């Protein structure tokens, strides 16, 4: 036994209690303190359009828990919003891609105008809260905002219909701050197939490939959520930059067409891109997906039975809903998607893209943006290290952004992709 200062070192060692192992909650907390959540998709802007017609002078983004309309019970307006500054802080959200979404049913010129209006209202919202939010146009901007305690706020355009099939419009959207574009939404564009529409182009057209090339040249991100599998594969073939899925799950876990199949996950690994895991129950829990399909079938049946009598059809569907409640989707179900993406593509290819305020509710336990620590604790419980959790929270998406920025810097001298406008 060695002695130091009259004290037996061995005795000290024997008498010292082992350090307590960190709980999953502590591992998650440490990870989110070091690397706050950088969420890929939040639909607050379309809530502002739908609820307030983009007039936000009296809108309080500090607390939106009272935004449900009692007179609109049973509709989306009857529900309170999922997002506000208090709950973003509670959820450890340090950066957010705000979704610039307009209906895919709008014709080209109207879609472009509505998209510009949504960029405007989102930038006005960010500017109203300078102590809490900061517009970010680059990965460096994101890290600077986080370091100042601000929520880095980025713009992501959801749907290629928003550019009206014009590369000139795409370039102007980038100039206004848009840093990703989802190639389609729920319907095909004239140049790309959607996951939820009848195949028309079987992937990307030649113009669609030019869109991907120009997105790369600008330094934007190509977002493949909402696109068909063929479009995913075509875009991965064309893109010279890592792509993202801003809010998608794994199709092997939930078979919805909006989710990413394994062959694409394998190709994504070589591309360097990421899937930002979605929280929307119908895309997360397979039981919920089956329930939605059954409900659609029942609605069609009641509409056929009660043609011309919509009140009776609605009453019959309400009775079916009462007898067939939606099965719960849980945080564990969402973690299953992350497990699968890790198994196929690897830990470097996972992010978070909740889709809050674009759905009725998140999974049980993380119904709104405040619930992210619950998910990260569940992942820690499954053996994810603090370093793994930091990658999922924000380090992976920051790496992807930097890759896009490096490519754009290296190709700054390349001429813009030009296509003729119609006569």
The catalytic site residues sit at 41, 43, 158, 185, 226, 247, 355
Q: HSE (CB half, 13 Å, CA atoms) of 52?
A: 21
Please choose, from the candidates 359, 387, 401, the residue with its C-alpha nearest in 3D space to the C-alpha of residue 47. Answer: 359
Q: Which residues of 145-158 are buried (b: 16+ CB within 10 A; e: fewer)?
A: bbeeebbbbbbbbb
Query: Which run of H or of E encompasses 389?
Result: helix 386-390
Q: Quote the strand ranges of 64-149, DSSP E.
A: 93-101, 133-135
Find the length of the chain: 423
* DSSP designation for 414: S
- DSSP calls for 314-347: HHHHHHHHHHSPPPP-BHHHHHHHHHHHHHHT-G
Q: How many CB atoms are closer than 10 A to CB 60?
A: 11
| Helix residue spans in 219-355 (DSSP H) | 229-238, 262-271, 281-284, 286-305, 310-323, 331-344
Q: What Rg, from alpha-carbon coordinates, does the chain have?
A: 23
Count of Cβ atoms closer than 10 Å to residue 357 Cβ: 24
Distance CA 215, CA 339 (A): 30
């Amino acid at each position: 036994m060695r002695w130091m200062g009259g004290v037996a070192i061995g005795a000290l060692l024997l008498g010292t209690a082992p350090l307590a192992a960190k709980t999953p909650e502590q591992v998650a907390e440490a990870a989110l303190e070091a690397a706050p959540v950088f969420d890929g998709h939040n639909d607050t802007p379309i809530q502002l359009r739908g609820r307030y017609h983009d007039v936000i002078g009296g809108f309080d983004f500090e607390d939106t828990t009272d935004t449900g309309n009692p007179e609109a019970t049973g509709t989306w307006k009857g529900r309170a919003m999922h997002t506000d500054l208090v709950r973003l802080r509670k959820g450890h959200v340090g950066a957010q891609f705000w979704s610039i979404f307009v209906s895919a049913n709008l014709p080209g010129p109207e879609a472009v105008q509505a998209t510009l209006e949504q960029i405007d209202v989102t930038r006005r919202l960010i500017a109203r809260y300078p102590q809490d939010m900061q517009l970010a146009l680059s990965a460096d901007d994101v890290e600077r905002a986080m370091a100042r305690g601000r929520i880095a706020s980025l713009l992501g355009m959801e749907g290629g219909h928003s550019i009206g099939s014009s590369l000139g419009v795409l370039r102007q959207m980038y100039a206004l701050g848009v840093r990703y574009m989802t190639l389609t939404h729920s319907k095909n564009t004239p140049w790309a197939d959607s996951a939820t529409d009848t195949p028309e182009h079987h992937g990307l057209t030649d113009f669609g490939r030019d869109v991907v090339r120009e997105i790369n040249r600008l330094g934007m991100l190509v977002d493949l959520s909402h696109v068909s599998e063929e479009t995913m594969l075509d875009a991965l073939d064309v893109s010279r930059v890592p792509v993202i899925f801003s809010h998608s799950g794994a199709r092997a876990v939930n078979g919805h067409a909006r989710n990413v199949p394994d062959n694409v996950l394998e190709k994504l690994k070589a591309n360097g891109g990421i899937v930002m895991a979605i929280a929307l129950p119908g895309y997360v829990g397979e039981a919920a997906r089956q329930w939605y399909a059954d409900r659609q079938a029942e609605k069609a049946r009641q509409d056929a039975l009660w043609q011309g009598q919509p009140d009776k059809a609605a009453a019959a569907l309400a009775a079916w809903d009462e007898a067939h409640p939606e099965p719960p989707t849980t945080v564990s179900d969402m973690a299953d998607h992350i497990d699968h993406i890790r198994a196929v593509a690897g830990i470097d290819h996972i992010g978070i893209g909740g889709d809050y305020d674009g759905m009725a509710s998140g999974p049980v336990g993380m119904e709104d943006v405040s619930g992210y620590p619950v998910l990260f604790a569940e992942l820690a419980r499954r053996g994810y290290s603090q370093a793994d959790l930091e990658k999922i929270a924000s380090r992976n998406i920051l790496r992807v952004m930097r890759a896009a920025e490096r490519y754009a810097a290296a190709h700054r001298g390349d001429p813009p992709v030009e296509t003729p406008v119609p006569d």
